[in-house]
Amino acid sequence: MNLKVICSLFIGVIFLQSCKKAHSGLDPDFKINSFPKQYVLNNGNYLKNDSLLLGDSRWIRYHPDSFVIVQELGNDKMLKIIDLKTGKIQEIIDKGRGPNEMVSAWGINVVDKDIWVYGGQLKKMLKLSYDDERQFYISDNLSLDDQTCLVGSALNDSTIIGLCFPDTNRLTIYDRNKNVKKIGEFPLIHSSNQVEPNNIVFISFMAGGPNNKVVLACDKTDILEIYDINKGLEKRLHGPKGIKIEAEGVDLGMGNKIFKTTPPFRAFYNVVANEHEFCVGYIGYETIEGVKRSLEDSYPKRIFCFSWDGEPKREYVFDIPIISFDFDWENKKIYALTIDPEAKIIVFDINEKI
């Protein structure tokens, strides 16, 4: 083997090692084995109700007064509310653009006794309350008057948290008087084609916690952020892989642009919280070009639970993909949506595992 060939091989090895190092990302703040407790849940029971027929469902929430709320796409009614005490099912929120209507209902969260729903197309929130007969009704209709708000979530009865685009701040806080406050800087894009960090690249699920705290869980990169809406960012966690995200803008013409991120990664999906902790679904799948992503690779099979200080507490591992989930913290159960092949609600008893 001559010297020129040896030099070429040496340079090639160095190049491959440098590429591998660049792709390996950051030193993560936590890993999968960072959680002191791990529980494997493979004994779920499907929620049985003769009147329950789910369509294209993508979001589930548990109400502490024994209701399960399920969002549906492609239906004339946006939500199904299942009363676990009586077995009755209520369908609510008409599809449309009127005062009490929505085109779609993506953001659903429970605050105290009320259900809040965000509709991204109409940039508004509806509040659902219930009467003595346990029937829900629309008790408030709140327009954000902000066409830039991509994602909205109610922190309490008077405060809405939003992710906006375009924007130079991570979080937008709205109050009932339509005052607006902007806080937070974006995570870092490590390499970009003239792309500034924004809330499309770092699109996230949100959940509110105690004392004006909010957690953001990124969909495309494994970053978790804990905010105090009065003080700003408290902690930013990378993990369990520490993905080093890159982005480029692709011009589609007519002033339209999409943002392509590298590696093409599916990180966190769905986050819920109470006063003590937050729990986030983790996918951890890097898309392979030319390979169709399966259902198993599209939704979480793990839930990570953290304290509000960002310390890992517990991990739940499932034998099926979980589209969406929520906790009945008091009765120690997880309510989840799954597909096998149609949408079903499955309930896991977690006993003393909280």
Is pLDDT of 119 > 50? yes
The predicted pLDDT at position 352 comes to 64
**What does the pLDDT read at residue 354?**
59
In DSSP terms, 265 is beta-bridged to 286
Weakest mean pLDDT among 6-15, 26-35, 227-236, 299-308:
6-15
Whether residue 6 is predicted with pLDDT greater than 60 in this model: the reply is: no
- Give the model's pLDDT for residue 16: 36
DSSP letters along 178-217, please?
Answer: --EEEE-PPPPPSEEES----TTTT-EEEEE-STTEEEEE
Average of pLDDT values for 116-131?
A: 96
Q: What percent of the chain has pLDDT over 90?
A: 76
pLDDT digits (tens, 9 = 90+) for 172-186: 999 988 899 999 999
Query: Which of these ranges, 1-10, 174-183, 308-317, has the smallest mean pLDDT?
Result: 1-10
Interval 226-251 mean pLDDT: 95
When mean pLDDT is compared across 18-22, 32-36, 100-104, 316-320, the lowest value belongs to 18-22
pLDDT confidence of residue 7: 41
Q: What is the mean pLDDT of the chain?
A: 90
* The token pair that represents 16 in the structure block: 């491959």
User: Can you give the pLDDT at residue 5?
Assistant: 39
Examine the pLDDT at 249 and tell me if it is beyond 50. Answer: yes
pLDDT band at residue 95 using 50, 70 and 90 as cut-offs: very high
**pLDDT band at 149; cut points 50, 70, 90:** very high
Q: At residue 19, does pLDDT exceed 50?
A: no
Given this model, what pLDDT does residue 163 score? Answer: 98
What are the distances in angstroms from CA 67 to CA 30, 157, 176? 34, 20, 27
Evaluate if residue 265 carries a pLDDT over 60. yes
Mean pLDDT value of segment 118-124: 94
pLDDT for 243 beyond 60: yes
Bridge partners of 101, per DSSP, are 94
| One-letter amino acid for residue 233 of the chain | L
Long-range interactions of 254-259: CB distance < 8 A, separation 24+: 259/195, 259/198, 259/200, 259/201
pLDDT tens per residue across span 199-216: 999 999 999 999 999 999
Residues 6+ apart with CB under 8 A from 184: 169, 170, 171, 225, 227, 232, 233
What's the whole-number mean pLDDT along residues 233-237? 98
- Across the range 2-11, mean pLDDT stands at 40
Q: Is the pLDDT of residue 14 over 70?
A: no
**Residue ranges with strand state E in 297-342:** 302-307, 312-318, 324-328, 333-339
1 pLDDT more than 60: no
What per-residue confidence (pLDDT) applies to 353? 57
153 contacts 163 by C-beta, under 8 angstroms: no
The pLDDT of residue 216 = 98
pLDDT digits (tens, 9 = 90+) for 282-309: 999 998 878 888 877 889 999 999 999 9
Q: What is the pLDDT of residue 21?
A: 37
pLDDT number for residue 10: 37
pLDDT over threshold 70, residue 20: no
